[in-house]
């Protein structure tokens, strides 16, 4: 009887389990709580939003595969939230292309010997305000096949008294053809671009050409790359606006009557965010390529004033197209960048934004020194080659304000270059910016960090046009919000730029009378007049074969 009772009890247990209501079974599982906080930038209520009612956000559409319910938090209607995938396809331009091998692994021409270190490999440590933390950088394509030189091209300073026919004849004697030559008042020199046609090794052709009595110096036509990574999904709220304290800063200045030259790829001047912002255009390439995501995003970080907010929404931009699409990215060369710098100086630029990076280029170094001597502020991206990269130029030039990138949590952008030359940091990770054809993009790179800082410089110059480049550097670094290790460090420099604090400090600087040409920057009467600046600084001799051509690529001390 006892055994029978045990059997009956055992048989009834699964029946009782099956009779349990579904709610009881579900109660045994833990359902995660979904909490999605809003990340809308704080906007000063005294500033009216600038929204173009004619531009509507695109609907979010998906194709293929099953659909998944989306949880969307409730937001205010003042600033619509965009889905970057519905307005801009993933950009493929300029994932890091710079070969970031160690400085000791470069040959005399600057090329990487053997297999270079992969860029942005996350081998470094990114520090935040709370402490240290390791981050992995984005993977990059193999750089073994990337040359820093334009194939078969040389750039030379030649005797300016020669006629074009004489230059062509000289080139022919050395197995080359003249591609283009121009006199550059910026460096008081005539520079020619030559292409080797007789099949000789480029270095042998360079040495032979440098020995000609009418050639004052020869170098390779070096490649330079824009500093942008692939677009990424994320929160499109403009966190950079709050980080830089732009709404507060714009109660003091908005960049009015300040001219910024943007040496970059093509800019979509018709974008609603850039309406009336482009005061001048120059195509240093002479090609027919249209607007580009990088150049348009850079201009937006500086001057956006529609749905988005740039750091200097009233600034005037000289759009200089110096970079063209290439395999996997956008690139330029020594000769084209010299043309661009020369144009910017001659047409009244007060600030020059250089969101590109490359090797130490003696001709560009010479042009930067001449530009800085004219009291023009130079701002450059630190580079996206990662923690193992040597310093990249022009950011490592002591006349340039080098800017590294940060994210919404004030951590260092994983692919950002480091170094003692870094002056400041600014948002550059997953920033929301305009793109060609009235679209928008979510993108990352120290390029955009530099652009934000260029706009902040414009605020300072509006407040006090007498400020010199060294004054501006001192104000920016003194008012920056310290990040990472206390004091200046190799990741964030002096800290993250603070537009409001810098703008307040600018007016307190001693004002020095500055002669301004009628209608020029600072006149406050005509926003569309550019002024050529008188060129008085003597040029330094271009490095020739008889000088130290193989100087190590070390950054000069700040």
- Tell me which residues are annotated as active site: 264, 294, 447
Helices 446-463 & 469-479, crossing angle to 10 degrees? Answer: 110
- The H or E element spanning position 12 is helix 2-18
CA gap 414, 310 in Å, rounded: 24
Helices 446-463 & 499-506, crossing angle to 10 degrees? Answer: 30
Name the pairing type of β-strands 324-326 and 329-333: antiparallel
Number of neighbours of residue 380 by Cβ within 10 angstroms? 32
> Residues 322, 285: contact at Cβ < 8 Å?
yes
Q: 483, 406, 480: which is closest to 449 by C-alpha? A: 406
C-alpha distances (whole Å) from 143 to each of 64, 181, 357 are 35, 32, 15
Q: Hey, what are 251's tokens?
A: 């109660």
> Residues 152, 202: contact at Cβ < 8 Å?
yes
CA gap 353, 160 in Å, rounded: 30
Q: Which residues share a beta bridge with 158?
A: 190, 215
Residues 6 or more apart whose CB falls under 8 angstroms from that of 8 comprise none
Q: 460, 486, 485: which is closest to 474 by C-alpha? A: 460
> Residues 364, 318: contact at Cβ < 8 Å?
no
Alpha helices in 417-558 (DSSP H): 446-463, 469-479, 499-506
């Amino acid at each position: 009887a006892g055994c029978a009772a045990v059997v009956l009890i055992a048989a009834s247990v699964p029946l009782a389990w099956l009779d349990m209501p579904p709610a009881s079974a579900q109660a045994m599982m833990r359902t995660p709580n979904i909490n999605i906080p809003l990340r809308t930038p704080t906007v000063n209520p005294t500033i009216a939003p600038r929204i173009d009612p004619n531009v509507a956000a695109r609907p979010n559409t998906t194709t293929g595969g099953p659909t998944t319910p989306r949880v969307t938090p409730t937001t205010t209607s003042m600033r619509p939230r965009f889905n970057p995938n519905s307005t801009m396809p993933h950009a493929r331009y300029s994932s890091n292309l710079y070969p970031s091998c160690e400085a000791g692994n470069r040959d005399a021409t600057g090329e990487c010997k053997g297999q270079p270190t992969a860029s942005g490999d996350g081998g470094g440590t990114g520090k935040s305000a709370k402490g240290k933390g390791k981050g992995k950088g984005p993977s990059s394509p193999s750089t073994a096949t990337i040359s820093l030189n334009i194939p078969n091209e040389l750039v030379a300073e030649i005797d300016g008294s020669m006629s074009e026919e004489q230059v062509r004849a000289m080139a022919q004697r050395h197995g080359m053809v003249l591609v283009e030559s121009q006199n550059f008042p910026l460096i008081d020199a005539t520079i020619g671009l030559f292409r080797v046609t007789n099949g000789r090794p480029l270095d042998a052709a360079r040495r032979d050409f440098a020995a000609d009595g009418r050639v004052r110096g020869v170098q390779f036509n070096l490649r330079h790359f824009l500093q942008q990574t692939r677009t990424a999904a994320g929160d499109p709220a403009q966190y950079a606006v709050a980080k830089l304290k732009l709404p507060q800063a714009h109660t003091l200045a908005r960049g009015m009557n300040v001219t910024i030259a943007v040496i970059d790829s093509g800019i979509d001047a018709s974008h609603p965010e850039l309406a009336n912002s482009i005061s001048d255009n120059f195509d240093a390439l002479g090609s027919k390529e249209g607007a580009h995501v990088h150049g348009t995003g850079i201009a937006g970080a500086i001057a956006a004033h529609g749905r988005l907010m740039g750091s200097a929404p009233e600034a005037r931009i000289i759009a200089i197209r110096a970079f063209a699409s290439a395999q996997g990215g956008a690139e330029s060369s020594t000769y084209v960048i010299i043309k661009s710098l020369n144009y910017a100086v001659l047409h009244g630029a007060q600030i020059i934004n250089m969101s590109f990076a490359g090797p130490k280029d003696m001709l560009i170094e010479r042009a930067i020194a001449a530009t800085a001597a004219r009291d023009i502020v130079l701002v450059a991206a630190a580079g996206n080659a990662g923690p193992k990269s040597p310093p990249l130029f022009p950011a490592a030039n002591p006349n340039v304000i080098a800017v590294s990138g940060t994210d919404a949590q004030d951590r260092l952008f994983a692919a950002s270059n480091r170094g003692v030359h870094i002056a400041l940091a600014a948002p550059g990770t997953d920033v929301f910016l305009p793109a060609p054809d009235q679209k928008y993009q979510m993108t990352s790179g120290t390029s955009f960090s530099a652009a934000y800082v260029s706009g902040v410089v414009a605020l300072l110059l509006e407040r006090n046009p007498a400020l010199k480049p060294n004054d501006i550097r001192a104000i920016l670094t003194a008012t920056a919000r310290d990040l990472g290790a206390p004091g200046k460090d190799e990741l964030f420099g002096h800290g993250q730029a603070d537009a409001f604090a810098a703008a307040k400090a600018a007016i307190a600087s001693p004002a020095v009378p500055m002669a301004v040409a009628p209608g020029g920057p600072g006149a406050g009467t005509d926003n569309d007049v550019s002024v050529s600046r008188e060129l008085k600084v003597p040029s330094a001799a271009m490095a020739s074969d008889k000088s130290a051509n193989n100087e190590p690529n070390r950054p000069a001390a700040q």
